[in-house]
Amino acid sequence: MPASGRRLEVENALVEHASILEAAVVGHEAADGSVRPKAFVVLKDGASAPSNEELRAFLQPKLAGYKIPYWFEVVPSLPKTATGKIQRFKLRSH
């Protein structure tokens, strides 16, 4: 499966969580130089932020272990183009 398909699979699994409205996943460089998935999530109105451990536990039965994001960051909104496409390059600089 191409990287974009894996990314979409993870994002679709994340939005199944009761607190999450939107999600975007990008590659992020770890301290050891490896690239691991990082998820940016937008919460639904009034929802409290789930912990990283809660999100990992939620994703575990849905995804292979290597697909589960290593980091999760709650953001107020995702950067998008005028046509609504997520600008992932802006998230990579976080």
15-47 pLDDT, tens digit per residue, is 999 999 999 999 999 999 999 999 999 999 999
Classify domain 3-92 by CATH number: 3.30.300.30
User: Sheet of 71-74: strands edge to edge?
Assistant: 20-29, 35-43, 71-74
Res. 2: pLDDT tops 80:
no
pLDDT for 76: 97
Confidence (pTM): 0.92
Specify whether the backbone of 46 is left (phi greater than 0), alpha (psi in -120 to 50) or beta: left
User: What pLDDT does residue 5 have?
Assistant: 78
Query: Which pLDDT tens digit goes with each residue over 47-70?
Result: 999 999 999 999 999 999 999 999
Q: Is the pLDDT of residue 3 over 90?
A: no
